[in-house]
Amino acid sequence: MKTLHTNSSIDGLARGKAFIVRRDSTLGHISVGTIDYELKKFSSALLSVREDLSSLEGDVFAAHLEMLEDPVLTEQVENHIRFDGMGAVEASYSACEELASMFNEIDDEYLRARVDDVRDVFGRLIAALTGSSDNPFKDIPDGSVIVANELLPSDTAAMDFSKIRAFVTEKGSVTSHVSIIARSQGIPALIGLKGCLEEINDGDELLVNGTLGTLVVNPDSESSIQFDALLAIGEKTSEMISAAAFGRAVSPDGKEILVYGNAGNIDEVRIAIERGADGIGLFRSEFLYMQESSLPTEERQFEAYRDAARYCSGKPLTIRTLDIGGDKALPYLNLSKEDNPFLGFRAIRISLKRPDLFKTQIRAILRSSAYGNVRIMLPMISTLEEVKKAKELIVDCMAELDNEDVPYNENIEIGIMIETPAAAILADLLAGEVDFFSIGTNDLTQYIMAADRGNSDVASLYDPKNQAVLRAIGMAIDAATKAGIPVGICGEMASDLSATPILIGLGVDSLSVSAPSVAQIKYRINTLEI
């Protein structure tokens, strides 16, 4: 028996047999032809991968196709063939490592996680060049724990999840593709378990504890019995939690609390609704912009919002307008470098300076409001004037659509995020101008405590449950309640089970959380005691 440990894991318990995925990372001997020959070989591999990707459905594969079309990728490989004496295969391996390390250095967690996509695209290219495109998951036995160096989107696309109990990988982080998939499939995962491939053999008995981040290989009978007892408790609790997902969440004093989902794309909207969310409390529209290499057109945005509205089938879909700046970059906007990006040109400040950009988005949102219960939410508000100006632009868009005879919901609700100290302090004035408040505790905490949300050196100050933050939250809730408008929380604090009684006690009407937390939060609300 051996026990291994990692700090990066996705919650849950599983027992299963190891199914090891080994990739041959050595090149072996591959003969190199003339430059022309190798260039041709590369371009026909490109063509065949392009065809494969075009035939697959899903946002991930559309993003891979786009990556493949990027001249930076092809030039990098072709230059290695032309100038470094490499064959197409070696050139692809080298370009892959160079691009992957470039992404790894980016100071943005979301973009850093795109390393998986780079490796995946090159994996396909190399498979096409070497003619080895076997699906390693074809004969996977029921009850398997997948153990691999890393797992890429094309791997998970080929998997039958009903046979998989858990993932264990040597590489990756909690924002890697494998973590996202584990969370959305409700499968536990141990990520970044260095050296595990040396410790585990195919078919070994594995006990995966994603909650503690531990892996037991070939357990002795005592560990095995203890783990089964844990599994039994886990199953009982998760049955009760799952049962709460599609019901109403009611606080001990009889008030219904809506539990919404947070989403960054259409798949996440669908998953949240499928997991019992009462609607979408935060659709982070900036991810739609970040996936593109130029501003998405009105039509492209309209289609995305309309599809999301359809998934919500009558439940609220709260679309937050572009929240770029701070830690979210949009390179093609060519914004100047700032010394204090979190205190700078971001979110609504950009939208009001660039009405062309804002109006394109508002028109798309308004058009989608004809297909569901769509709401508009303005991020990073700090003055009353910002709200008034944004509303004027929204009214302009409505007039344009009237002239064009395009349908939309004239009574669309317009709300704001309370995520700056100014907005919390002015909440009583702001409440008179809008239909709802949503408190963004991620930013509100960093601005109230003057502690960067991404800086681990000040992590002890960055505490949403600090008295100062709670007072700001309380001010916003009181102002909303007095004005008779609903108020919710959409920051990560809403998913924190230890914060639930505090937030309910302060008087929130809704909590907007990540999809897998919907059932847990509803269960938590229903089992609170006064």
Q: Which is nearer to ligand PEP, 120 or 286 (CB)?
A: 286
Residue 490 CB, shortest distance to Mg ion, in Å, is: 9
Residue 442 CB, shortest distance to ligand PEP, in Å, is: 3
Q: Give residue 307's identity as a one-letter amino acid code.
A: D
Residue 23: how many other CB atoms lie within 10 Å: 12
Residue 440 CB, shortest distance to Mg ion, in Å, is: 4
Given ligand PEP, Mg ion, none, residue 284, with its beta carbon under 5 to 8 Å by kind, binds ligand PEP
For residue 187, give the nearest of 170, 204, 164, 207 by alpha carbon. 164
Is residue 102 within a helix (H) or strand (E), and if so which, with residue range? helix 88-104
Handedness of CA 450, 454, 459, 465 (dihedral sign): positive
Q: Which is nearer to ligand PEP, 175 or 442 (CB)?
A: 442
Binding site for Mg ion (CB under 5 A): 419, 440, 443
At 217 the three-state DSSP class reads: strand
Given Mg ion, ligand PEP, none, residue 280, with its beta carbon under 5 to 8 Å by kind, binds none
Which residues lie closer than 8 Å to 4 by C-beta, 6 or more apart?
190, 193, 195, 196, 199, 214, 215, 217
Of 184-192, 209-217, 297-305, 437-445, which part binds ligand PEP (CB under 6 A)? 437-445
Residue 416 CB, shortest distance to ligand PEP, in Å, is: 12
Q: Is 490 in the site for ligand PEP (CB under 6 A)?
A: yes
Does 196 qualify as catalytic in the annotation?
Answer: no
DSSP class of residue 214 equals: E
Instruction: Quote the CA–CA distance of 237 and 240 in Å, as a whole number.
Output: 5
Q: Is 440 in the site for ligand PEP (CB under 6 A)?
A: yes
Among 369, 420, 441, 514, binds ligand PEP (CB under 6 A): 441
Site residues for ligand PEP, 253-282, by CB under 6 A, read: 282
DSSP for 164-188 reads EEEEEESS--TTSHHHHHHHHHT--
Given ligand PEP, Mg ion, none, residue 375, with its beta carbon under 5 to 8 Å by kind, binds none
Q: Which is nearer to Mg ion, 89 or 347 (CB)?
A: 347
Find the catalytic residue in 64, 80, 96, 177.
177
For Mg ion, the nearest residue by Cβ is 443
Among 90, 268, 443, 509, binds ligand PEP (CB under 6 A): 443
Instruction: Quote the CA–CA distance of 332 and 39 in Å, as a whole number.
Output: 30
Residue 112 CB, shortest distance to ligand PEP, in Å, is: 17
Instruction: Quote the CA–CA distance of 236 and 338 in Å, as a whole number.
Output: 52
Instruction: Quote the CA–CA distance of 82 and 91 in Å, as a whole number.
Output: 10
Which residues lie closer than 8 Å to 153 by C-beta, 6 or more apart?
60, 61, 64, 116, 117, 120, 177
Residue 44 CB, shortest distance to Mg ion, in Å, is: 46
Q: Which is nearer to ligand PEP, 291 or 442 (CB)?
A: 442
Which residues lie closer than 8 Å to 91 by C-beta, 6 or more apart?
38, 42, 77, 78, 80, 81, 84
Q: Which is nearer to ligand PEP, 386 or 419 (CB)?
A: 419
Q: How many residues bind ligand PEP (CB under 6 A)?
A: 10
Contact 379, 321 (CB under 8 A): yes
Site residues for ligand PEP, 87-116, by CB under 6 A, read: none
What values do phi and psi take at 14, rounded to 5?
-155, 145
Residue 325 CB, shortest distance to Mg ion, in Å, is: 10
Q: Which is nearer to ligand PEP, 441 or 500 (CB)?
A: 441
Q: What is the 3-state secondary structure (H, E, C) of 443-509?
A: HHHHHHHCCCCCCHHHCCCCCCCCHHHHHHHHHHHHHHHHHCCCEEECCHHHHCCCCHHHHHHHCCC
At 281 the three-state DSSP class reads: strand
Site residues for ligand PEP, 413-432, by CB under 6 A, read: 419
Q: Give residue 52's identity as a one-letter amino acid code.
A: D
| Ramachandran area for residue 458 (φ above 0: left; ψ -120 to 50: alpha; else beta) | alpha
Site residues for ligand PEP, 491-530, by CB under 6 A, read: 491
Does 397 qualify as catalytic in the annotation?
Answer: no
Find the catalytic residue in 96, 196, 312, 490.
490
Among 64, 165, 284, 306, binds ligand PEP (CB under 6 A): 284
Of 8-16, 107-115, 421-429, 440-448, which part binds ligand PEP (CB under 6 A)? 440-448
The per-residue b/e assignment along 228-244, b for 16 or more CB within 10 angstroms, e otherwise, is: eeeeeeeeeebeebeeb
Residue 436 CB, shortest distance to Mg ion, in Å, is: 16
Q: Which is nearer to ligand PEP, 125 or 469 (CB)?
A: 469
Q: Is 323 in the site for ligand PEP (CB under 6 A)?
A: yes
How far, CA to CA in Å, does 316 sit from each of 121, 225, 281, 364? 36, 46, 7, 17
Residue 490 CB, shortest distance to ligand PEP, in Å, is: 5
Q: Which is nearer to ligand PEP, 188 or 491 (CB)?
A: 491
Q: Which is nearer to ligand PEP, 209 or 514 (CB)?
A: 514
In 390-430, beta strands by DSSP E: 413-418
Instruction: Quote the CA–CA distance of 271 and 160 in Å, as a whole number.
Output: 18
Give the catalytic positions in this structure.
177, 490
Note the residues at the interface with ligand PEP (CB under 6 A).
282, 284, 323, 419, 440-443, 490-491
